[in-house]
Amino acid sequence: MARRKATARMSKKKEVEVEEASTSSASVAESEAEEESDTNDHSEEEEASDVQSEEEEEGSDEEVNSSDEESSGEEESDDESPENSDDVNTDSVGQNEQCTFDLGNLLSFNTHQVNAAELYRGGSMKNNLNKEWYELRPPTIEASKASALPNPVNESMLLAKAAEGTTQLLRELWKLPTEKTDLGLLAKLPTAETRLPRMLPPPPPKQLTKWEQFALQRGIAPKGKQSRKVFDEATGEWKHLTGSLDNKANAGPESWPILEVKKNDDPMQDPWEKLREEKKSRVGKNTESRMRNAERAGNLEKGTANRMMKNVKKQEKQKVLMRQKEREMGLVAPVGVPVDMRSGGEKAQRGKPSTQLALKATQTSTASLGRFDKQIEGEPERQLNKNTKKRKLDPSVTGNTNKKYLQTEAQKSQDILSKVMNGSKQKDKDVKKGKYAKGETAYDYDFDDGLGSGSFKKKKGRAGAGKMKKLTKKRIM
């Protein structure tokens, strides 16, 4: 009651504001005000000092008036139990500010106004906390006068508010359903109320492949899990389903050394080649259908499957043509069936040249293209393909944007340009030798006298050096 009188002494404006504040603020605050008005009767002494502070701070009217009661309440309880604050600092603050919670995120919201005046009150002796903990070392970033921070901050007030909020939150947390585990009491948290944005958009629903659609329509159940290893009848071991022909379970006719010729088979065809080609076509079909499924699902750009198929067909055609050409020209040994048994035996060669070709083919059909294979004593030197160096591909092809590589590329083109513009040593040498001579004339290399370059004769000595050409400065590109 004394509190209300004190405020009435002030201007009418403030009175109105008090009423406004009390009605506008949350209902909880109002109930608090009622609570505190009772406790106010106990300690009227402090109110005098509070009134003084009120009169000082006229800037923030609303705050002062409405949160005044709260702060006074806190102060009073501070004095009431000073000893307990050493041990448990929640006792210093009464349970006057109710918080709202989001237990799923371990959050608590104290939506009551903060008394800025109280917070930035300087030089208060009640702030024992400041000395004890906050003055152990100077802060990493000091609050300068230029900054907007009013110094010093009332740490004890902040701590008190924190403690209160935490106690309330813990109380709520301990109310949750729990179960005992060997690590302790496990509480089941409810779903979080505060919604936070996601990192990535949610995954799109999976599109069914063509087969899956068909299976769904016809009611065909999926295959089910396959076991990792299968018993291989031939070797009597447990092997994986996939792998090389040696390590595969139930490898099949590709690995058998002898194959029967069945009714509908052509006896002249290589059955293993036939099997390999069949497998290739199956693999190609599989990749194509996978690409089409991916296109339908949107994982792949539309049209890539068609492009891939076109490319594959093109390449195959080219390969076939090249092979035919080589065989016709006699560069490659005849493949497969012996020469005399073939129908088109006219173009096929027999005898030494054919054998030599066949030998060359076999010698280079190793992993290292015949470079490191041992040679028998007395064997003539092998005629290997000399162009077995690794090609340096254009970075635009490989997609390699290695800076070092780009620099060398740029350097290369610069070198070429400088050579064209300024002339290189090699070219000078060649000119002297007579490569660029258009006629017979000894020292004028550019002059074409119609006699032909073949009859060019390089002169010795000073005459061979040619006309003294104007020395031009090499331009720095």
Partner 1 sequence: MAPTPHQAKQAKAKLISGGKQPKARVQRYLKTTESQLKEGAKGSLLLKGIRCSDAMSTILKDMRSVQAPHAKLLSKNNMIVPFDDEGQQSLEFLTTKNDASVFALASHNKKRPNNLVMGRTFDRRVLDMVELGILQYRSVGDFPGLPKQRVGSKPLLQFVGDVWSSDINLKRLQNLLIDFYRGDPVDSLILSGLDHVMVFTAAEASIGGVEPSPIIHQRTYYMKLKKDPKGGKSPVPYLTPSGPDMDFKVRRTEFASPDLWKLAMKQPQGVKAKKKKNQTTNIFGETIGRLHLERQDIDSRSGKKSKALRMADKLDKAEAKAALEDELGREEEEMDNEFQQAYGFSKGDM
User: Of the candidates 31, 213, 299, 455, which one interacts with partner 1 according to CB under 8 A?
Assistant: 299
Residue 68 neighbours by CB distance under 10 Å: 24
Q: Judge whether 129 and 156 are in contact, CB under 8 Å.
A: yes
- 202 touching partner 1, by CB under 8 A: yes
CA 33 to chain centroid, in Å, comes to: 57
CA angle 356, 321, 359 (to 5 degrees): 10
Residue with structure tokens 């389903």? 241
- 197 touching partner 1, by CB under 8 A: yes
Nearest to 105 by CA among 200, 191, 176, 197: 191
- 178 touching partner 1, by CB under 8 A: yes
- 85 touching partner 1, by CB under 8 A: no
Please name the residues in contact with 283: beta carbons below 8 A apart, sequence gap of 6 or more: none
CA 264 – CA 84 distance, rounded (Å): 102
- 224 touching partner 1, by CB under 8 A: no
- 222 touching partner 1, by CB under 8 A: no
Residues in 87-106 at the binding interface with partner 1, rule: CB under 8 A: 87-90, 99, 104-106
Q: Which is nearer to partner 1, 40 or 66 (CB)?
A: 66
Q: With CB under 8 A as the contact rule, which of the stretches 193-201, 346-354, 358-366, 434-442 interacts with partner 1?
A: 193-201
User: Of the candidates 23, 27, 52, 181, which one interacts with partner 1 according to CB under 8 A?
Assistant: 181
- 12 touching partner 1, by CB under 8 A: no
Q: Judge if the upstream peptide bond of residue 152 is cis by omega within 30 degrees of 0.
A: yes
Q: Judge whether 35 and 79 are in contact, CB under 8 Å.
A: no
- 194 touching partner 1, by CB under 8 A: yes
Residues in 364-393 at the binding interface with partner 1, rule: CB under 8 A: none
Provide the minimum distance between the beta carbon of 91 and partner 1 in the complex, in angstroms, as a whole number: 8
CA 206 – CA 224 distance, rounded (Å): 19
Provide the minimum distance between the beta carbon of 206 and partner 1 in the complex, in angstroms, as a whole number: 12
- 220 touching partner 1, by CB under 8 A: yes
Provide the minimum distance between the beta carbon of 27 and partner 1 in the complex, in angstroms, as a whole number: 14
DSSP 267-311: TTS-HHHHHHHHHHHHHHHHHHHHHHHHHHHTSS-TTHHHHHHHH
HEC-encoded secondary structure of 396-416: HHHCCCCHHHHHHHHHHHHHH
What three-state secondary structure class fits 57?
A: coil
- 281 touching partner 1, by CB under 8 A: no
CA dihedral of 209, 211, 213, 219, whole degrees rounded to 10: -150
Q: With CB under 8 A as the contact rule, which of the stretches 199-207, 390-398, 411-419, 443-451 interacts with partner 1?
A: 199-207
- 63 touching partner 1, by CB under 8 A: yes
Q: Judge whether 22 and 67 are in contact, CB under 8 Å.
A: no
- 210 touching partner 1, by CB under 8 A: no
- 241 touching partner 1, by CB under 8 A: no
- Sign of the dihedral defined by the CA atoms of residues 78, 82, 85, 90, in that order: negative
Q: Judge whether 447 and 461 are in contact, CB under 8 Å.
A: no
Provide the minimum distance between the beta carbon of 453 and partner 1 in the complex, in angstroms, as a whole number: 54
- 133 touching partner 1, by CB under 8 A: yes
- 143 touching partner 1, by CB under 8 A: yes
Provide the minimum distance between the beta carbon of 376 and partner 1 in the complex, in angstroms, as a whole number: 38
- 228 touching partner 1, by CB under 8 A: no
Please name the residues in contact with 408: beta carbons below 8 A apart, sequence gap of 6 or more: none
User: Of the candidates 4, 240, 290, 382, which one interacts with partner 1 according to CB under 8 A?
Assistant: 290
- 277 touching partner 1, by CB under 8 A: no
- 304 touching partner 1, by CB under 8 A: yes
Residue with structure tokens 């509480």? 187
- 31 touching partner 1, by CB under 8 A: no
Q: With CB under 8 A as the contact rule, which of the stretches 70-78, 196-204, 250-258, 378-386 interacts with partner 1?
A: 196-204
User: Of the candidates 185, 268, 410, 463, which one interacts with partner 1 according to CB under 8 A?
Assistant: 185
Joined tokens for residue 279: 């497998």
- 306 touching partner 1, by CB under 8 A: no
For 449-464, b/e burial (b = at least 16 CB within 10 A) is eeeeeeebeeeeeeee
Binding footprint of partner 1, residue count (CB under 8 A)? 87
- 170 touching partner 1, by CB under 8 A: yes
Provide the minimum distance between the beta carbon of 136 and partner 1 in the complex, in angstroms, as a whole number: 6
Q: Which is nearer to partner 1, 60 or 235 (CB)?
A: 60
CA 72 – CA 68 distance, rounded (Å): 6
CA 148 – CA 13 distance, rounded (Å): 30
User: Of the candidates 162, 275, 332, 348, which one interacts with partner 1 according to CB under 8 A?
Assistant: 162
- 48 touching partner 1, by CB under 8 A: no
User: Of the candidates 283, 393, 410, 416, which one interacts with partner 1 according to CB under 8 A?
Assistant: 283
- 417 touching partner 1, by CB under 8 A: no
